[in-house]
Structure 1
Amino acid sequence: MSDMAIVTLCSAPRLEHLRNQLRATAGVPRVVVWIGDDDAPLLDAESVVRVPPGAAGLRLAAARNAGARAAEALGARLLVFLDADCVPGPELVDRYRDAATQHPDAVLCGPVTYLPARAALDAASLRAATAPHAARPAPPAGTLQRAEPAEYPLFWSLSFATTTAVWRSVGGFDERYEGYGGEDTDFAFSLRRAGVPMIWVGGADAYHQHHETSSPPWQHLDDILRNGALFAEKWAEWPMTGWLEAFERAGAITRENDGWRRASV
């Protein structure tokens, strides 16, 4: 499995994080999908694709699909998706390639470590900092562990890989999702429904560079309500329930039948 490409989505607020990633992935074809409403700057990437925001916000699902098409046009048969905030560990590329050789019919998910502010990004420092997020399985390096059906909602688009054949068979991400939230879990549910294996890839470590966040993400409240309703219509359950319940406790939203809506002021 020698023909691969790394696909990344980015906009201006994450540009410096992206540049760190591009430096770390020199020698591997890179596709950057620029998702802001401005023009992309000069980037050290083999392909730069523009997917501007839609009426409801950033088009993350459409951007990943566009990135996959651009990577395939470069000759890639293995697609490695990395969030713009993430830098790959020194073994990520090889671990994903080896896993794809063993499981060409699967979607592959490596562990993600969240770095503190001003963390060093050299290989030795990254190895020393490795502490995968506890919410997801992280088998020992070199171990491949098949996900149980109940684990599919743990899929993150921060770092994953799959062959172009699997990508085409699933149809990529549902482009009806715009703005923040829902499209990752929707993709995972589509994988589970199609019987596509999901494999936890030990040692395919990615490292998420620090930036300020809020929990729950108040700036995305309306996106979460809109995309959550779309998801519920499709799958008969709501995603992101932890955030929704936090918004509800704060009095911002209220339950209505089987869903949520903004609370009356």
Structure 2
Amino acid sequence: MTIPPACTVVVPTYNRSALLRHTLDSLCRQRLAAHDSFEVIVSDDGSTDDTAQLVAEYRDRLDIRHLFQEDEGYRVAKARNAGIAYARSRVCVFVDSGVILRSGALAAHLAAHRQTSTPAAVIGYVLCFNEGNEDGDEITKSLDFADPDASFAEFTAGHRWPDIREDYYARYGEDLDALTAPWLMWWTCNASASTELLRETGGFDEAYRSWGAEDVDLGYRLREAGARFVLRRDAAAIHVPHPKSYEDNMRSAAANYRYFAEKYDTPVARLVPDHHFHEIEDILRSRGLADGEVTDRFGTVTRPIDDRDAEAQGGVRS
């Protein structure tokens, strides 16, 4: 009898083979317990570059498969759902192309799931991810691609390029399950969840056809289904900077946030389009909709772009 892998790593991609190589290299370096193994599913949203050939190069080092869907525009939700459908393990770990996992990251994700008595939604830590990638050249020059664990240690010790969610954790603490809306921080650049619960909740909503919000939407449903939200700093990753249209992505996200609010039409969902994620817990507290005192940082964060009239930018990929 074949023993199933301990986790399935789902990596959506689109014409990002150079970035994907960094991610696959980091997966080759993962250190797991002797009895654990993992599989990798590269879920391809219609690439026309050498992604398929690249994946083939790793078949002697990773339990890896390449799933391909025709390019019909931005369909990352469908790509990730394909990975969930084919997963043979009890835990799905989601990472993006160009995300370099620390060598102990998968072990940390697995530990988080094993340490909870209920299904978990785990939030990994992501260094070097900021809203505009303003330091992209400096990050790339500073990153040791041959020994990324050394870069993790250096960046962490020097407090360089911390996870953009640090302000959120400073405001509300790291016991995310005690919060009302921890799903706001469950981002699939580095996150995991119970495969069974992902399937029970319907996976990613494939109506999202542009960048932004499809992971938050699923996180919302995972919370409603009883998932416990857990932050694991040791499930760490580095986001490799790459060219993208930040303004287009923010406009796309604005439209998707409106869709999210209309879809669920709850007090917290209605806050999402017009408020920075880091403020929403405070707003809920101020309105008596969440436990806890309003923090002394309330009112200090604003959305970088507020374009309520922007239309979704189909096909914008990052």
Q: Same fold (TM over 0.5)?
A: yes
Matching residue's letter, 1:112 = V
Query: Matches of 1:246 and 1:98 in 2, distance apart?
Result: 36
Question: What do the CA deviations read for 1:180-199 (whole angstroms, capped 9, x no partner)?
Answer: 11212211221222222111
1:220 maps onto 2:249 in alignment: yes
Question: What do the CA deviations read for 1:164-212 (whole angstroms, capped 9, x no partner)?
Answer: 1222222211111111112122112212222221111131111111223
Structure 2 counterpart of 1:100 = 113
1:261 maps onto 2:309 in alignment: yes
Structure 2 counterpart of 1:256 = none
Structure 1 residues 129 and 169, CA, compared in 2 at 3 Å: closer, same or farther? same
Structure 1 counterpart of 2:65 = 47
Worse-matched range after superposition: 76-85 or 113-122: 113-122
Query: Matches of 1:65 and 1:164 in 2, distance apart?
Result: 11
Q: Count matched residues.
A: 242
Query: Matches of 2:47 and 2:26 in 1, distance apart?
Result: 26
Structure 1 residues 148 and 222, CA, compared in 2 at 3 Å: closer, same or farther? closer
Question: TM-score of the superposition, structure 1-length normalised?
Answer: 0.79
Structure 1 counterpart of 2:74 = 58
* 1:69 paired residue among 71, 75, 85: 85
Aligned partners of 1:182 and 1:240 also within 8 Å: no
* 2:20 paired residue among 9, 18, 21: 18
Aligned partners of 1:11 and 1:35 also within 8 Å: yes
Structure 1 residues 19 and 138, CA, compared in 2 at 3 Å: closer, same or farther? farther
Aligned partners of 1:149 and 1:192 also within 8 Å: no
1:201 maps onto 2:232 in alignment: yes
Structure 1 counterpart of 2:279 = none
Structure 2 counterpart of 1:257 = none
Q: CA deviation at 1:120?
A: 0.8
* 1:34 paired residue among 44, 50, 64: 44
Q: Report the 3-state secondary structure (helix = DSSP H, G, I; strand = E; otherwise coil) of the residue aligned with 1:149.
A: coil
Aligned partners of 2:254 and 2:273 also within 8 Å: no
Structure 1 residues 150 and 4, CA, compared in 2 at 3 Å: closer, same or farther? closer
Structure 2 counterpart of 1:89 = 102
Structure 1 residues 99 and 245, CA, compared in 2 at 3 Å: closer, same or farther? closer
Structure 1 residues 158 and 241, CA, compared in 2 at 3 Å: closer, same or farther? farther
Aligned partners of 2:255 and 2:310 also within 8 Å: no
State how 1:97-246 maps to structure 2 within 5 Å.
97-103=110-116, 105-114=119-128, 116-118=139-141, 119-121=143-145, 122=147, 123-130=149-156, 131=159, 132-136=162-166, 146=177, 148-214=179-245, 217-220=246-249, 223-236=252-265, 237=270, 239=272, 241=274, 246=304
Query: Matches of 2:68 and 2:271 in 1, distance apart?
Result: 31
Q: Report the 3-state secondary structure (helix = DSSP H, G, I; strand = E; otherwise coil) of the residue aligned with 1:261.
A: coil
Residue ranges of structure 2 left out of the alignment (5+ in a row): 31-37, 130-138, 277-301, 312-318
Query: Matches of 1:144 and 1:246 in 2, distance apart?
Result: 27
Q: CA deviation at 1:213?
A: 4.5
Query: Matches of 1:147 and 1:205 in 2, distance apart?
Result: 22
Matching residue's letter, 1:232 = A
Structure 1 residues 167 and 147, CA, compared in 2 at 3 Å: closer, same or farther? farther
Query: Matches of 1:106 and 1:117 in 2, distance apart?
Result: 33
